[in-house]
Amino acid sequence: MQVQEVMTQEVQCVNPDTTLQDAARKMRDLNVGPLPICDNDRLAGMITDRDIIIRGVAEGKNPATTQVSEVMSSNVVWCFEDQDVNEAADLMKEKQIRRLLVLNHDKRLVGIVSLGDLATAIGDAHLSGSTLEAVSSGR
């Protein structure tokens, strides 16, 4: 089974110059914790609700004026839409992450896949359990 069969499509992005406040509002409205950062239809990074709090607010940055580019993670882990779901699970284990951005071969963002999506798709309780354990335990 390929990642594109289980990923969430139509992922919302924000631009690098979006303020932390606007990104937080978008997260609230979409009921999500992470948002990809796209610059001219290219993946530039990722910001999470935790990034806004730890790298922004806790550091005294003004959420109304600070841009997401100042606190985002630019070394984003991703996979291709036609990769096997087991490869995606292995990548999550290796990088200890709970979600992967999904790109097409033109390197355009086409979706996001979560650990839960993969666990359901794989249908292998041992594999999904071991993936979750590895991601959660930090090994």
Q: What does the domain layout of the chain look like in residue ranges?
A: 3-137
* Tens digit of each residue's pLDDT (9 = 90 or more) over 31-81: 999 999 999 878 999 999 999 999 999 999 999 999 999 999 989 999 999
CATH architecture of the domain with residue range 3-137? Roll (3.10)
Q: Which residues pair with 48 in a beta bridge?
A: 34
Q: Which of 69, 76, 64 is nearest to 16 (CA)?
A: 69
pLDDT bucket at 121, cuts 50 / 70 / 90: confident
Q: Which of 54, 68, 72, 63 is nearest to 18 (CA)?
A: 68
Total-model pTM: 0.81
